[in-house]
């Protein structure tokens, strides 16, 4: 696949969940496009592997739990002492177990929503003031087609991602008078490790809903995120961009 080059020179990007999957590929593409990238992830071992693979002097990282606001705020304050934050990719997320709502473990349900939705809120709340100060920012929140359709046996994930869509629309409108764009992307299933958290039956059910008849390739997703994160995106905000292979109907 031919890749369009984006200009992220002199831009600093934070990518949550950046040590693997979507986040890792976004980090790789941002670095190739000249950005300084900071990976936030809860898995120190995965971070170390990612840093070794990417092998770039413009890459740094923090081990952080995005569902813990104090950790997010402290880390943000350290970064803005020496740098501005131009781009935020809220990618960290988990699917949680596959179960009917009435059988769903309450603590596990809460954990899924805390990471997927509260984590996105925490990062936006901590970082947006720096973007306002500099009158520049691009925020991309990784939601899911599940947040629009609702997936059976995945109520926590569906609710969390639906919340991310609502948060995106609210925050985008609040910042619309500034040079700050806030958008969400809603991918269908993709070939990442997140599929390993699901049963084979659940994965097959997801695939059966995609008219393209295949899962999303990570590089396809990254290309959309890059455009939304670039200075070329001067008008779109508070919007939801599908990349679902035809699954979404609205």
Neighbours of 42 (CB within 10 A): 20
Tokens of residue 235, six digits: 């008008």
How far apart (Å, rounded) are the C-alpha atoms in residues 9 and 33?
7
Catalytic residue among 69, 104, 157, 250: 157
End-to-end Cα, the chain, rounded Å: 28
50: enclosing H helix or E strand: helix 44-54
- Our answer to whether residue 157 is catalytic in this structure is yes
How far apart (Å, rounded) are the C-alpha atoms in residues 140 and 136?
14
What does each C-alpha distance from 30 to 10, 27, 77, 137, 178 come to in angstroms?
A: 11, 5, 23, 15, 23
Spatial neighbors of 179 by CB under 8 A, at least 6 apart, are: 135, 136, 137
- Contact 118/67 with Cβ under 8 angstroms? yes
- Contact 88/126 with Cβ under 8 angstroms? no
Active site residues: 157
């Amino acid at each position: 696949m031919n890749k369009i080059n984006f200009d992220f020179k002199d831009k600093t990007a934070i990518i949550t969940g950046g040590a693997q999957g979507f986040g890792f590929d976004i980090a790789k593409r941002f670095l190739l496009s000249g950005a300084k990238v900071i990976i936030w992830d809860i898995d120190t071992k995965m971070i170390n592997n990612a840093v070794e693979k990417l092998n770039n002097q413009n890459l740094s990282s923090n081990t952080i739990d995005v569902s813990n606001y104090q950790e997010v705020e402290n880390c943000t304050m350290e970064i803005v002492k020496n740098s501005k934050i131009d781009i935020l990719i809220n990618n960290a997320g988990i699917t949680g177990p596959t179960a009917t709502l009435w059988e769903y473990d309450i603590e596990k349900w809460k954990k899924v929503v805390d990471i997927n939705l509260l984590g996105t809120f925490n990062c936006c709340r901590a970082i947006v003031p720096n973007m306002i100060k500099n009158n520049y920012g691009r925020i991309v929140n990784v939601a899911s087609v599940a947040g629009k359709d609702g997936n059976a046996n995945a109520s926590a994930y569906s609710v969390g991602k639906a919340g991310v869509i609502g948060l995106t629309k609210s925050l985008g409108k609040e910042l619309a008078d500034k040079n700050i764009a806030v958008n969400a992307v809603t991918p269908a299933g993709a070939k990442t490790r997140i599929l390993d958290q699901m049963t084979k039956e659940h994965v097959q059910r997801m695939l059966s809903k995609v008219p393209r008849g295949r899962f999303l390739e990570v590089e396809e997703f990254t290309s959309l995120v890059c455009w939304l994160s670039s200075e070329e995106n001067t008008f779109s905000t508070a919007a939801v961009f599908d990349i679902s292979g035809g699954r979404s109907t609205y």
